[in-house]
Amino acid sequence: MAHFKRGEFSTCEAPLSERPNRVTTPEIMVQIHELILVNTRISAKSVSEHLGISREWVGSVIHADVDMQNLSVKWVPKCLEAYQNLQRFQTYE
């Protein structure tokens, strides 16, 4: 609104000074998923150090895109049935 008050009516998009949006590429999702499959006890911090991306971004990719959760220090798919989660938990006690 302030731009219009100053007489600036350009509809061209000016480059933003904000940080860019993070784009989750299929390659990143595959790399994260493969690291978890190789070692299900790997931490999000280790994954982020290995791939050179932030730990927060790794966590959001794991939970939202790869659809896994951390259960008893192990990454497991969210779509497991309750009895499968219980069985996995009991094997590591």
Look up the pTM and report it. Answer: 0.59
Higher pLDDT, 56 or 79: 56
Written as one string, the DSSP assignment of 65-92 is IS-EEEETTEEEETT--HHHHHHHHHHT
Which tokens in the block code for residue 29? 């999702």
CATH value of 23-91 in 1.10.10, 1.10.3470, 1.10.12, 3.30.70: 1.10.10
User: What is the structure's pLDDT at 31?
Assistant: 92
| Cross-strand pairs, 68 | 77
Name 85's Cβ contacts closer than 8 Å, sequence gap at least 6: 71, 76
Which sequence spans correspond to the domains of the chain? 23-91
Read off the pLDDT band of 50 (50, 70, 90). very high
| Residue 86 in tokens | 């219980």
Average of per-residue pLDDT across 39-65: 90
What residue ranges in 1-93 does DSSP mark as E strands? Answer: 68-71, 74-77
pLDDT of residue 22: 65
